[in-house]
Amino acid sequence: MMHSLWLLAPIILLVGAGTATQNVVNTALSRHASAVGAAFISVTGTFLVLLLLLLVNVGGARGTVTGALHAPPYLWIGGLFGVLVLVSAVLLVPRVGAATFVAFMVAGQLIAALVLDQLGAFGLPKYPVTALRVVGVVLLLGGARLVLWR
């Protein structure tokens, strides 16, 4: 598993860079619209790209969407978290800066992910919280705190 992680790490880092860039671009867009307007435009762009992927049936996407119709309703909350990220980024990035926002957002993601891993939430495999993983969270929180200093 560790070997494949290092092969995937550059892709994941690029996704992280895209998220940071999305926060800044949406913040700039909000100066021409509003926080909610910028988030709406971002989500609309996401929707259109996903619609295109569905239309060309990338990875059997059509079947997965129809299967989701039979999933428990609570599994449909992902979009709510997306709105939370988009709107909070547009509102908070101008106040705290992109680096500080992303640092604390990533720290929050890691803390939540540790809990979700420990629980094996939503049918995922369980990955126990270990002392080393907690140290990783503490170091990440320390790094987030260091980003605050300007």
Task: Give the pLDDT confidence of 8-39 residue by residue, as tens digits.
Answer: 888 888 888 888 899 899 999 999 999 999 99
Q: Are residues 83 and 105 in the same domain?
A: no
Radius of gyration of the chain (CA): 18
* Side chain identity, residue 11: I
Q: Please name which of 29, 121, 137 lies closest in space to residue 75, comparing C-alpha atoms.
A: 121
Are residues 25 and 87 both part of a single domain? yes
- Decide if 148 contacts 102 (C-beta within 8 A): no
Residues 106 and 67 in one domain: no
Residue 38 lies in a domain: yes
Global confidence as pTM: 0.80
Whether residue 141 sits in one domain with residue 111: yes
pLDDT exceeds 60 at position 150: yes
Examine the fold and report which residue of 55, 70, 91 is the final residue of a domain before the chain moves on. 91
How confident is the model over 93-111, as pLDDT tens digits? 999 999 999 999 999 999 9
Q: Are residues 85 and 106 part of one domain?
A: no
Q: Are residues 85 and 40 in the same domain?
A: yes
Q: Are residues 84 and 108 in the same domain?
A: no
* Sequence-ordered list of residues with C-beta below 8 angstroms from that of 144, at least 6 positions apart, any chain: 100, 103, 104, 106, 107
Q: Determine the Cα–Cα distance for residues 142 and 59; give it in Å rounded to an integer.
A: 40
Range of the domain at 67: 18-91
Burial class of residue 111, CB neighbours in 10 A (0-12, 13-18, 19+):
middle
Q: Which of 23, 11, 143, 2 is nearest to 94 (CA)?
A: 23
How many domains, the chain? Answer: 2
* 64, part of any domain: yes
From CA 36, how far away is CA 31, in angstroms rounded?
11
- Shared domain check, 105 and 80: no
Kindly report, residue by residue over 120-132, the tens digit of the pLDDT: 999 899 999 999 9
CB 120 within 8 A of CB 126: yes
